[in-house]
């Protein structure tokens, strides 16, 4: 061989021809026929089963509970009570005005002593005390008693409602739900609830009665003190007038002017004493008013404490509901995972059924190709990586033998 610019040494080629023994040729033809049927006549089969596990009822319930989470009713009640207490406290602070003492005007220069014979010693002024009755109790009873008692009753009923699941569980452990044991437990719980409610009502009314009695006693004591002071002032004035009359009668006409002066001094002294007693009575009334205002503030403080307790209960209930929703979703996720594994196994079983003819075809091809061939060269072939590759190799051998 010649080339334009140079020459190259001849290369040696070695051709190895592999043939299929005649006794295996029918099997090779059958295998190729089966491969042709699988390749052209078998339609593509779509998996009709479910492959993705959906949300189970437990997950849906947990998601719904989470979506429905919101501020509990106790929070709203606590906010309402706190707002009402703040409004009432503001009204009490703006409406309370201390009493102004109005002194009695006494004219020391304009006092004219009348004739001594006109003053007579009279009897003492009658002093009476009012009895503490139903109307007085209602007038002095705290206006916040009913609200505090009702709030305590609601707390007791909430505690009773929280105990009911435990009573039902005890009834079930004792022999079945709805039996005599459960009925006895519920009846006992109801009796306890009624006793607790009656105790709250009785205690609240007793405390209100005692406080009203104390307030009534303080008020009446102040009034009695003022009345007795007025009575003493009247007696003093009468005694002074009587002494002036006796002195005038003893001294006679010459001492008339002196008697008038003494009478005037007695009047001034009586007016001064009455003025002092009046101021003392007003101070006692003012102390009574301050005591009543203090009771009102104590009631507001108790309502604020109850509002804080309601807020804490509402937060606890919200946390429990949130934890229950999370537990439902976690349990539902485990169930969903198990369902997904089951669906995956079903899908793999479907794929294995689809691969089975091709695996059998590859196994047959491996047997044919792994058998020693006739001719000058003997070759032992291992299994192909896939059934289709094995069949392709077997087809090449078959065409080579057919052509030879």
Contact 137, 209 (CB under 8 A): yes
**Interatomic CA distance for residues 299 and 143, integer angstroms:** 9
Q: Is the dihedral of CA 285, 287, 289, 295 positive or negative?
A: negative
- Give the pLDDT of residue 133: 65
**Interatomic CA distance for residues 403 and 323, integer angstroms:** 78
- Average confidence score pLDDT of the chain: 75
> Does the pLDDT value for residue 380 go beyond 60?
no
Closest to 85 (Cα-Cα) out of 241, 242, 237, 299 = 299
Identify the DSSP state of 144: T
Q: Which residue has the higher pLDDT, 246 or 348?
A: 348
Report residue 379 as tokens.
């070759």
- Give the pLDDT of residue 94: 67
Report residue 149 as tokens.
């008692």
Report residue 208 as tokens.
């209100």
Q: How confident is the model at residue 381 (pLDDT cuts 50, 70, 90)?
A: very low
For residues 29-50, give the mean pLDDT: 85
Q: What is the pLDDT of residues 251-278, one digit of tens each?
A: 665 656 666 677 778 787 877 887 787 7
Residue 8 phi/psi, 5-degree rounding, is: -125, 150
| CA 291 to the chain's CA centroid | 36
- Give the pLDDT of residue 376: 37
Report residue 227 as tokens.
């009345």
- Give the pLDDT of residue 388: 56
- Give the pLDDT of residue 346: 92
Report residue 244 as tokens.
């002036």
Largest CA distance in the chain: 189
Cβ neighbours, 10 Å, residue 379? 11
Q: How confident is the model at residue 183 (pLDDT cuts 50, 70, 90)?
A: confident
Report residue 289 as tokens.
């008013």
Q: Which of 1-10, 194-203, 318-327 comes out lowest in average pLDDT?
A: 1-10
How far lies 271's CA from each of 16, 100, 240, 277, 285, in Å? 152, 20, 12, 10, 21
Q: Which residue has the higher pLDDT, 277 or 404?
A: 277
**Interatomic CA distance for residues 2 and 285, integer angstroms:** 144
**Interatomic CA distance for residues 157 and 246, integer angstroms:** 79
- Give the pLDDT of residue 37: 84
Selection from 178-187, 200-209, 259-268 with the highest mean pLDDT: 200-209
Q: What is the pLDDT of residues 4-27, one digit of tens each?
A: 555 566 677 776 666 778 888 888
**Portion of the chain with pLDDT greater than 70, in percent:** 69
For residues 363-372, give the mean pLDDT: 73
Q: What is the pLDDT of residues 93-132, one digit of tens each?
A: 666 566 565 555 545 455 454 554 555 556 666 656 566 6
Q: Which residue has the higher pLDDT, 141 or 398?
A: 141
Identify the DSSP state of 98: P
Q: How confident is the model at residue 348 (pLDDT cuts 50, 70, 90)?
A: very high
């Amino acid at each position: 061989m010649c080339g334009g610019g140079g020459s190259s040494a001849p290369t040696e080629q070695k051709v190895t021809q592999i043939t299929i023994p005649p006794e295996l040729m029918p099997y090779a033809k059958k295998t190729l026929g089966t491969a042709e049927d699988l390749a052209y006549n078998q339609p593509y089969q779509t998996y009709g089963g479910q492959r993705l596990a959906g949300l189970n009822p437990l997950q849906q319930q947990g998601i719904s509970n989470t979506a429905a989470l919101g501020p509990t009713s106790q929070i709203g009640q606590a906010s309402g009570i706190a707002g009402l207490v703040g409004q009432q406290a503001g009204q009490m602070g703006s409406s309370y005005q201390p009493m102004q003492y109005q002194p009695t005007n006494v004219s020391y220069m304009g006092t004219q002593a009348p004739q001594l014979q006109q003053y007579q010693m009279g009897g003492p002024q009658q002093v009476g005390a009012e009895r503490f009755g139903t109307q007085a109790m209602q007038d002095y009873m705290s206006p916040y008693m009913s609200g505090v008692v009702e709030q305590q009753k609601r707390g007791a009923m909430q505690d009773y409602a929280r105990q009911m699941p435990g009573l039902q569980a005890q009834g079930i452990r004792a022999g079945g739900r709805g039996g005599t044991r459960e009925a006895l437990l519920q009846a006992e719980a109801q009796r306890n609830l009624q006793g607790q409610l009656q105790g709250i009502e009785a205690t609240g009314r007793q405390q209100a009665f005692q406080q009203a009695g104390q307030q009534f006693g303080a008020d009446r004591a102040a009034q009695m003190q003022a009345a007795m002071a007025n009575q003493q002032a009247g007696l003093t004035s009468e005694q002074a007038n009587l002494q002036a009359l006796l002195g005038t009668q003893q001294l006679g006409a010459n001492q008339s002017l002196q008697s008038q002066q003494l009478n005037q001094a007695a009047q001034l002294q009586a007016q001064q004493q009455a003025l002092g007693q009046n101021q003392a009575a007003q101070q006692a009334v003012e102390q009574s008013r301050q005591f009543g205002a203090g009771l009102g503030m104590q009631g507001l403080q108790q309502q604020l404490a109850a509002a804080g307790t309601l807020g804490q209960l509402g937060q606890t209930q919200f946390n429990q509901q949130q934890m229950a929703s999370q537990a439902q979703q976690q349990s539902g996720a485990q169930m969903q995972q198990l369902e997904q594994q089951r669906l995956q196994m079903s899908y793999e079983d479907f794929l294995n059924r689809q691969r089975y003819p091709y695996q059998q075809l590859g196994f047959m091809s491996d047997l044919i190709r792994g058998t020693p061939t006739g001719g000058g060269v003997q070759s032992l072939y291992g299994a192909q990586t896939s059934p289709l590759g094995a069949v392709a190799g077997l087809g090449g051998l078959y065409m080579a033998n057919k052509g030879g």
